[in-house]
Structure 1
Amino acid sequence: MTVRVMLVSPAMTVDLREARFGGLGPLDESGVRAAAAAVHDVPRADLLLRGSSLRCRETAEALGLRAEAVEALADLHVGDWAGRTLAEVGESEPEALALWLRDPAAAPHGGESLRQLSVRVGQWLESLPARRVLAVVEPAVVRAVTIVALGLAPETFWRLDVGPLTLTELSGRQGRWNLHCGRPLGGSGS
């Protein structure tokens, strides 16, 4: 049986603009407006899910979705780096940041490695029943699901760009997935 997995990345937030780890903040005004404008572009689904972050919840709500939070779809756990900007970490821990960016098994922040994230979301992906699933999830989750589904090398994680309020679609079944990526919802996706 075929499964269709539709992943929507959250709308814009101050945290995204500032390249801040952890996505702890709410949607900003432009994010709320963009999500509200995209309501009619949201595909139909049998199962509505979301990551546990505030911006995933607020994006789902702004899109008119009553989505269930699923821990397997939580953002990458970044440990001590949560709430800090990429620039701050780069300045205070340049070697740790460089290691993290080149080695998918590294977790110098004390949180979860990219490999661990991929295992977590891969188990979720392979457990899905044959149906249409729509999930509002963080960009890291979109990247990890894509890598797992297509059997890509974990090192490609940072080469996948996921813009705000974009739709990435996978269709297939265990071991055989096809990808349609990055369609903006509501026109601009910003």
Structure 2
Amino acid sequence: MTIRVMLASPAMNAALREARFDGDAPLDRSGRELAEAAAGAVPEAGTHLSGPSTRCLGTAAALGLAAVVTEPALAGWDLGRWTGRRLDEVGAAEPAEVAAWLSDPSAAPHGGESLRDLVGRTGGYLDTLQGPGGGSGGGVLAVVEPSVVRAAVVHGLRLPLEAFWRLDVAPLSLTELAGRSGRWNVRLGRPLTSATPGPFVD
């Protein structure tokens, strides 16, 4: 049986605008208004999930999703002691650590998850959805952090882990995965403000 998983990235907030390491905060006014305007473009799904961050939950609410379940396995990247700090600030204070983080998928100089851990966690959860009872009829729609979307694409297409850094995920975009029997096809992110495309199957 094919399972369809749709990953929506959250709307903008101050932390995203300031390029902070997963600094969680509520949506700003502009982000909330854009999410509310995109509600009509959200595809139907049998299950609604959200990562546990404030901005993901706020985006899910602004999109008008009903009966949203918070899924810890879809949490954003755990960046340890760097969480909430700006990239340029950390780069200036810890250049060697940042260089290691960017070049070695197994490195976690911040004390949180390595890139390898993030992709493994995200991919492991996606693969459970292909099992018995993993997804209800109508597919799954989840509002998740951009890092989780990128990790899902790397896992789904079996890309080298380094490809993670080459993927961009825009706010309020939708990335779709359709899979069965341990493989996934991916439709890369489209703005939620655009018309819904035709059926997507693997």
Among all aligned residue pairs of Structure 1 and Structure 2, give the percentage whose two residues are the same amino acid: 58
The answer as to 2:166 corresponding to 1:159 is yes
- In the alignment, what sits opposite 1:29? 29
CA deviations on 1:44-74 (whole Å, 9 max, x unpaired) are: 0011101010000000000011311111000
- The normalised TM-score by structure 2 is 0.90
Q: 1:52 and 1:160, CA in 2 relative to 1: closer, same or farther beyond 3 A? A: same
Deviation at 1:186, TM superposition (A): 2.0
Are the aligned partners of 1:76 and 1:140 in contact in 2 as well (CA < 8 Å)? yes
CA deviations over 1:110-157 (Å, ceiling 9, x no partner): 000111011111111011125400000000000111111110000111
Matches within 5 A, 1:140-151: 140-151=147-158
The 2-side partners of 1:80 and 1:168 are apart by 29
Q: Distance in 2 between matches of 1:23 and 1:180?
A: 28
Q: Residues 70-149 of structure 1: matches in 2 within 5 Å? A: 70-128=71-129, 129-130=134-135, 131=137, 132-149=139-156
RMSD between superposed Cα atoms in Å: 1.0
Aligned AA for 1:180? R
Q: Give the distance between the partners of 2:119 and 2:189, measured in 1 at CA.
A: 19
Tell me what 1:18 maps to.
Answer: 18
Quote the offset at 1:30 in angstroms. 1.2
Letter of the structure 2 residue corresponding to residue 119 of structure 1: G
Alpha-carbon distance in structure 1 between the residues aligned to 2:60 and 2:23? 15
Could you tell me the TM-score, scaled by structure 1's length?
Answer: 0.95
